[in-house]
Amino acid sequence: MATEQYDYVIVGSGTAGSVLANRLSADPDVSVLVLEAGGSRIPPEVDDPSSWYKLLGGPVDWGYTSVPQPGLGGRRTYEPRGKAPGGSSNLYIMMHIRGHASDFDNWAYQGAAGWAYEDVLPYFARLEGQEDVTAATTGTDGPQRITNAGLHGPNPVSRAFIDAAVELGHREIADFNTDGPRRGLFGTGWHHIDVADGRRQGVLAAYLEPALTRPNLTLRTGAQSTRLLFDGDTCTGVEYAQLRAPATLSDSDVPGRTVRDAHSGASTPGTHTVRARREVIVAAGAIESPKLLLLSGIGHPDALREHGIEVTAAVPGVGENFHNHVLAGLMAEVTQELPAPAQNLSESALFLSSRPGLPAPDLQIAFVHVPFDVIVGQDHPNTVSILPGVVRPVSRGWIRLASADPLAHPLIHPNYLGDRWDLERMVQGVKLAREIFATSAFSPWYKQELQPGPGTVSDEELRTWVRQKSESYHHQAGSCRMGIDDLSVVDPELRVHGVRNLRVVDASVMPAVPSGNCHTAIAMIAERAADFIGGPNRGA
């Protein structure tokens, strides 16, 4: 049988993959295939913004576990990642944060030429369809529908959090994303959220589903790419495993809806190959993208030989520079019955720097109007949480192959709190959260602290608690870093070094994760990549 052929083959239909699928297939003269490891069923909780936590550990979650984390006393962490059309944007908490201007200037400074703030700004605006215009740079016509949580009947306790932060001297801002390159992001206020008409507006709704009506776009679910195929140094296609239930989801496994046209071109269970006439674009996320490169012989030669994999290209940085934001949850019981959980459960926040003189916020203090911990929550239903997080971590870890079995999870080492500065900033964040609970603005609500609790006082006790309780902030990034130095993996147009017709487009290419939730920056990267791919360097 002749090998199937498409102009572009995209591996993964997550945040980046769905944006690319939409933008590339907008040209009716090209054919696009998207291979997605997850199944076609979308549980009802995906569409309900308040139900995101019910999806964790469920059938649309890869449910990874890290290797033991030295900075967390040897604990392993749970690392959720979306496994379905829409990827991790089916699980995310819908906070719409672009990042700080210096995040992108720093990328360019590190060799990612053309990715400075001024360069990426138009792409943020292009993706946004925001309801309230807060600055000239707000995007209003893009596919990503965005609302202001403060305009849709927010929980009054979320307002008390903002007032408390103001009482502590922080300014209230109208939009974390549009207050100028230097001051932007610093302050407290309402989140803008990827929610509209009461529904999650992840990339599934914003980009992928609208494009699935096009005859030149094929989405194949339950199709896990196992290897990239090469002719010399030219990537020519993809080998994939068409999985059977229960390795993937059969329609009967998951209540919910089936992604429209997801089965178009479905192939029979087993191993298949597909050819890409122009390019293969790997968009499998910060954990699976480096894994797929390694399985395909792109990586450090020693790491490849260890698993008996022939070297296609010696690119030693594959899997290095992996990192993530880190957070811990304080919980306080409140004096009054809380209104029912609403919107994305996290309507307000505070961004600040841990010390004077830092150009961007490195602490994000998120407020959640439900108990962060279901165990405590069951005994104390009227509980709220403040989640301090380090959003400019200096700790770096890695992704490595556990085995040459393409269906095995890789080894995941985010190296949380591996550097003492990250630990000290977490402690500082916990103290700040306590200051917020202690303000007069919060006093009408505050009853008692449940976690860490009154027994945790000294700096050493706080360090111990932070090591025991810190968790993934779910912003894994950096494992196929963009740049031009020896350890970079892709060039500034996201082409993999040492080979042709292969790009990586997802969170893995970020030299450093931005100073806030990173879905929007990943969508921006994919918007930009679509221009590279469809532009003058097509197929280069």
Positions in the binding site for ligand FAD (CB under 6 A): 11-17, 35-38, 80-83, 87-89, 91-95, 97, 224-225, 283-286, 288, 292, 474-475, 506-507, 517-520, 522
CB of 18 to ligand FAD, least distance (A): 8
How far is Cα 242 from Cα 220, in angstroms, rounded to an integer? Answer: 9
Tell me, yes or no, if 475 is annotated catalytic.
yes
Minimum distance, C-beta of residue 145 to ligand FAD, in the bound complex (Å): 15
**Sheet strands (E) in 114-222:** 128-130, 144-148, 187-190, 192-193, 195-196, 199-200, 217-220
Compute the distance between CA of residue 523 and CA of residue 538 in angstroms, rounded to an integer: 20
In angstroms, give the least distance from the CB of 316 to ligand FAD: 22
Q: Is-contact 285 87, C-beta < 8 A?
A: yes
Is residue 283 within 8 A of residue 289, CB to CB? The reply is: yes
Q: 334 pairs with which residues across the strands? A: 446
Phi, psi of 304, deg, nearest 5: -70, -45
Q: How near is the Cβ of 149 to ligand FAD at its closest, in Å?
A: 12
3-state secondary structure of 268: coil
* Position with the least CB separation from ligand FAD: 14
Angle between helices 519-534 and 117-127 (to 10 degrees): 100
The CB-of-283 to ligand FAD minimum distance in angstroms stands at 6
Q: Which is nearer to ligand FAD, 164 or 522 (CB)?
A: 522
**Among the options 272, 300, 413, 475, which is catalytic?**
475
Select 30 or 505, whichever has its Cβ closest to ligand FAD: 505
Prior bond of 246 cis (ω within 30°)? yes
Residue number, 62 or 446, with CB nearest to ligand FAD:
62
H/E stretch holding 450 reads: strand 446-451
Give the Cα separation of 238 and 295 in Å (integer): 12
- Give helix 519-534 / helix 15-25 axis angle, nearest 10°: 30
Residue 99: which region, alpha, beta or left (left: phi > 0; alpha: psi -120 to 50)?
A: left
Tell me how far, at minimum, the Cβ of 476 lies from ligand FAD, in Å: 7
User: Known catalytic residues?
Assistant: 475
